[in-house]
């Protein structure tokens, strides 16, 4: 299955205009669905918001193929105050019974500290320069 996920991601190619439009749709959906994110430089976030973000990106960029490929394998979302060297992490876990699950974690330390104060600098994530926490381009 990891190969299937890689194939889905690698086979998705979009031009800059398409990416910008789809990202704007994700941005609008998150603002309308989240109980915590109230704007581009939000000050609160909840693991449910990560689930919304995942679903919106999967639907808008991959037509729901990521979640479909996971099938019944659980996917969990968490926020971490202790993750300081990485903005986020996706991990696959398993137990002795053979049960597997995925977890996507996001660093609140990096998320909130990088965009705080008047002198915050733009952050580059995946080749995109972001001037605010929820960048819509």
Q: What is the pLDDT along the chain (137 residues), one digit of tens a residue?
A: 666 888 888 888 888 899 889 999 999 999 999 999 998 778 899 999 999 999 999 999 999 999 999 999 999 999 998 877 778 899 999 999 999 999 999 988 877 776 555 555 666 655 666 655 444 44
> What domain count does the chain have?
1
Task: Provide the b/e sequence for 71-110 (b: ≥16 CB within 10 Å).
Answer: eeeeeebebbeebeeebeeeeeeeeeeeeeeeebbbbebb
**pTM across the whole model:** 0.79
Cβ count near 12 (within 10 Å) = 11
Contacts of 112 (CB under 8 A, 6+ apart): 43, 133
Instruction: Kindly state whether residue 12 falls inside one of the protein's structural domains.
Output: yes
Residue entry with tokens 């998705």:
12
Cβ count near 134 (within 10 Å) = 20
66's tokens: 């990521």
Instruction: Kindly state whether residue 136 falls inside one of the protein's structural domains.
Output: no
Instruction: Kindly state whether residue 137 falls inside one of the protein's structural domains.
Output: no
């Amino acid at each position: 299955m990891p190969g299937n996920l890689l194939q889905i991601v690698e086979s998705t190619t979009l031009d800059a205009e398409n990416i910008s439009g789809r990202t704007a749709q994700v941005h609008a959906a998150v603002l309308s669905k989240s109980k915590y994110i109230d704007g581009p430089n939000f000050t609160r976030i909840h693991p449910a918001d990560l689930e919304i973000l995942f679903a919106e990106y999967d639907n808008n960029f991959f037509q729901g193929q990521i979640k479909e490929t996971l099938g019944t394998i659980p996917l969990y979302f968490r926020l971490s105050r202790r993750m300081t060297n990485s903005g986020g992490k996706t991990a696959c876990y398993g137990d002795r019974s053979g049960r597997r699950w995925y977890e996507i974690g996001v660093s609140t330390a990096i998320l909130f500290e990088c965009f705080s104060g008047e002198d915050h600098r733009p952050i580059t994530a995946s080749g995109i320069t972001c001037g605010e926490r929820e960048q819509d381009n």
